[in-house]
Amino acid sequence: MTTVLLIHNPTAGDKEHSGKELVSLIEAEGFNCIYTTTADDGWKTIDSAADILAVSGGDGTLRQVVMALLGGVTKHRTAPVAFIPSGTANNLGRSLGLMQSPHELVASWKTGDVKGFDVGKIEGCGKGMYFLEGFGFGIFPRLMGSIDRIKVSADASAEEKVQGALKVLLEITKEYQARECKIVVDGMTHAGKFLLVEIMNINAIGPNLDINPSADPGDGEFEIIIIPEDQRERLEAFVQNKIEGLGENVSFSSLKGKVISISWDGEDGHADDEILRTEKGFDISIHMHPCVLSMLLP
């Protein structure tokens, strides 16, 4: 019998994402299920002969599990990861085509495909760290540090939370002072004053900002989105369209590469959902680790 180790974030999702419901779904499909929760630090060191490593939670939960895998803390590197998205933005779930119901996702595990997923390693931030979604500077990490400006109720829906974040992002886009940056992508240098620099592995960051529609997280390359100061109005139009739910989109040019170095003259940075702060600017390098993660997809 196939054994599933379920790592569950009990604070994410609704009733159908409860631990009890998920275990019942998994067992009803004929799997043996071992349950553990991120509310208990013991999940990191649980030792089991799991055939599938299932993760239920938001994008941050999946990153937390992957960091434990890559750091050698969790002993399931060979088991494919089956993600059940239940967060607010669910950028990873959307990018991987995993926005079906938990029942549909669990049923797909029997016939699903295992595909490689790239991970970026960052050096120069004082400690080695990785990212799954994106790493960058400018207006997006400034938004992450401005949570107090997002005015939504505690019981707001995921859609309302995304809308609240987009409205604050529009304000930040209008007022943000562009920063000097030099970025070298596979030996080619680009320099100027930018509002946003994002090294992206999937198609969206933050409140569903799909600024990288051509993303393929298993192609062995990053897409680098750089938005210069003279494209402020275009960026404002992009965010405004997202707020209004318009089908029309505004595109941005991108680069592709595997080895990247960046010097950024600003204090705002992020790696996925982790805010990075400095008063001296950033001088970092990023290396592609192709397909180090195996994802079980429908």
**Residue 184 within a domain:** yes
Q: 141 with 267, same domain?
A: yes
Q: 142 with 266, same domain?
A: yes
What CA–CA distance (Å, rounded) separates 80 from 124?
A: 30
Q: 47 with 101, same domain?
A: yes
**Residue 153 within a domain:** yes
Q: 91 with 154, same domain?
A: no
Q: 268 with 213, same domain?
A: yes
Q: 24 with 80, same domain?
A: yes
Cβ atoms of residues 79 and 49 within 8 Å? no
Which of these three, 111, 143, 172, is where a domain ends?
111
| Count of structural domains within the chain | 2
Q: Where are the alpha helices (DSSP H) in 109-207?
A: 139-144, 158-175
Which of these three, 79, 111, 143, is where a domain ends?
111
The string of pLDDT tens digits covering residues 178-225 is 999 999 999 999 999 999 999 999 999 999 999 998 899 999 999 999
**Residue 236 within a domain:** yes
The string of pLDDT tens digits covering residues 75-110 is 777 799 999 999 889 999 999 999 999 999 999 999
pLDDT-derived band of residue 48, with 50, 70 and 90 as boundaries? confident
Cβ atoms of residues 116 and 219 within 8 Å? no
- Looking at this protein, which amino acid is placed at residue 68? A
Q: 101 with 126, same domain?
A: no
Residue 74 CB-density burial (10 A; 0-12 exposed, 13-18 middle, 19+ buried): buried
Q: 129 with 269, same domain?
A: yes
pLDDT at position 248 is 67
User: Containing domain of residue 127, as a range?
Assistant: 120-290
What CA–CA distance (Å, rounded) separates 181 from 202?
A: 23
pTM score, whole prediction: 0.91
pLDDT at position 72 is 74
Q: 149 with 233, same domain?
A: yes
pLDDT (mean) for 21-31: 97
What CA–CA distance (Å, rounded) separates 16 from 59?
A: 18
The C-alpha angle with vertex 166 and arms to 152 and 162, in degrees rounded to 5, equals 55
CATH of the domain at 265: 2.60.200.40
Q: 147 with 251, same domain?
A: yes
pLDDT (mean) for 127-132: 86
The candidate with the shortest Cα–Cα distance to 166, out of 129, 127, 125, 211, is: 211
CATH of the domain at 13: 3.40.50.10330
- State yes or no: pLDDT of 126 exceeds 80: no
- Of the two residues 279 and 238, the one the predictor is more confident about is 238
